[in-house]
Amino acid sequence: MNTELKVGALAPSFKSTAVGGKYGDGTPVSLADLAGQTVVLYFYPKDDTPGCTTQACGLRDAWTQFEGKAAVFGVSVDPAKSHRRFIDKFELPFPLLTDEDHKIVDAYGVWVEKSMYGKKYMGIERTTFLVGADGKIAKIFSKVKPEGHAEQVLAALSE
C-alpha cells in the first residue's frame, strides 16, 4: 500500500461523483457531506466482474440491515456510465463513487501492484473502510473475500 492508514486515523477527505441510490445518474459528494454519519467505503476492482458482482449483490441482499446504520458507497476507477450499467443490471440500492483520476484509491492506499498468471499490473486491492461519525477510521477490512463481506461489515457495525 502507498499509504498505510490505521484505525483511529482521520479518514482521507474526497470529492467524487456518486451514481445510484439517492444520487441518481451522478451527483457530487464529499466525505465532508457525510459528516456525522457512519460511512462504509468498499473499494472493488471493476464493475460487472465475477468477484465484484458477488460482493455487490451480497450487500444488495443485506441492504435492509444496512439502512439507518451506515451510508454505503462502492468505489472503483470505472466511469459513471459503467457504474450506471452495473447498478441497473443487478438492481444495486446503494451508490457507487467514480474515481477515474485515482485520487481516492491513492489516498486510501488501495491502488497497488497485483499479479495474475505471472503478469504484474496496477489495480485496486479489495478493501473496505468503516468510517465513524467522527470522521475517523473505525475498522479496515483488507484483502476482502467477496463472499460473506456484507455479513462481516454488518457485524462490525453492530460492535
Q: Which residue has the cell 451506515?
A: 70
Q: Which residues of 137-150 are buried (b: 16+ CB within 10 A; e: fewer)?
A: bbbebeebebeebb
Which residues make Cβ contacts (< 8 Å) with residue 107, sequence separation at least 6?
A: 3, 12, 14
Q: Which of 18, 29, 40, 52 is catalytic?
A: 52
52 tagged catalytic:
yes
CA geometry: angle 30, 32, 37, nearest 5 deg: 105
Identify whether the C-beta of residue 138 lies closer than 8 Å to the C-beta of residue 132. yes
Distance CA 47, CA 74 (A): 10
For the chain, the first-to-last Cα distance in angstroms comes to 27
Q: Which residue has the cell 451527483?
A: 27
Q: Catalytic amino acids?
A: 52
